[in-house]
Amino acid sequence: MSTPRKIVLVTGATGKQGGALIQGLLSAPDTAGLNILAVTRDASSPRALELGTNFNVAIVQGDMTQPEAMFEKFGPIWGVYSVQINSDAEEQQGKAMVDAAVAHGVQHFVYSSGDRGGPEKSPVNPTKVKNFAAKYRVEKHLEEKAAASPQNMTYTILRPVTFFENLTTDIHGKGFARMWEQMGAKKLQFVSTRDIGRIAADSFMHPNNYRNIALTLAGDELTQPEADVMFRAAVGFPMPMAPCPMASTVKFFLKGTVGDMFRWFELEGYGGDVAVCHKLYPGMKDFQAWIDENKGKWLSI
């Protein structure tokens, strides 16, 4: 008799990290023996329909405002990938996903958090950045609830640094590039969401290797002018940036979020070990590799 396939519930499936996790699992032979439930609030949206699926990947409708309903609807779930968007509900949704997973016998829980100064500082440093602090509190909740869970649920906390994918061709990307440039000589750490997804996929394939650990994921560390040299060589023109006053105004008016975050980047900053990450995860992208792969977006403007 064949062993029943393990079911993994992937939240944020139409988003950057969840989508990358699904691509990571789809590229494993036979999706590594896992059945994937790709959660979206709207299974008929263009982004949901774009998701690559096969016999082992199903797009399902669910909402993190009601995680209990998801678990009741989808039946026994072995693994959960949990990611929330930045909002006032982030902490509540993140904790509720943990509670529902514990209550429904989940065995392995992967939480996508964010780095707060490296492996030593992150567990004790909520920071003053609102969405960083929400993640800190969700992490603590996860550790506590997993340890007390009847099923001895294991967990992996992924702590990515800034995504290269923030560099989009639209005004958001240009604004981000300018705020990075305004950091001057202070370097910023980056990671590709594809690498986050690849490592998340590996944690579901080899949960024992990722048992109850937290990983800071960083693929490069550089200033905007350093990146601009590579950008110009790859694309043929300078990295497009929003005007200085516009970026400064956004940081001022969004003080509690974007403003605090860039202030934290300047005064404290991420603490990933880029060299160790490249050693642990061969093929991890640095800026050069990322821009070589993504330059087409700017070349087609």
| Chain residues that interact with ligand NAP, rule: CB under 6 A | 11-12, 14-17, 39-42, 45, 47-48, 63-65, 83-86, 114, 131, 160, 162-163, 166
Which tokens go with 169? 């061709």
Kindly state the smallest distance separating residue 89's Cβ from ligand NAP, in Å: 7
Kindly state the smallest distance separating residue 265's Cβ from ligand NAP, in Å: 11
**Using CA atoms, how far apart are residues 212 and 109, in angstroms rounded to an integer?**
9
Kindly state the smallest distance separating residue 152's Cβ from ligand NAP, in Å: 27
CB-nearest residue to ligand NAP: 15
**Using CA atoms, how far apart are residues 164 and 231, in angstroms rounded to an integer?**
12
Kindly state the smallest distance separating residue 218's Cβ from ligand NAP, in Å: 11
Instruction: Find where tokens 């070349």 sit.
Output: 299
CB-nearer residue toward ligand NAP: 83 or 230:
83
Kindly state the smallest distance separating residue 97's Cβ from ligand NAP, in Å: 10
CB-nearer residue toward ligand NAP: 100 or 147:
100
CB-nearer residue toward ligand NAP: 15 or 119:
15
**Using CA atoms, how far apart are residues 61 and 133, in angstroms rounded to an integer?**
29
Residue 81: strand pairing partners: 10, 110
CB-nearer residue toward ligand NAP: 45 or 54:
45
Q: φ, ψ for residue 19 (rounded to 5)?
A: -65, -40
CB-nearer residue toward ligand NAP: 136 or 231:
136
Sheet with strand 154-160: strands edge to edge: 57-61, 34-40, 6-10, 79-82, 108-112, 154-160, 213-217
Sheet with strand 220-222: strands edge to edge: 162-163, 188-191, 220-222
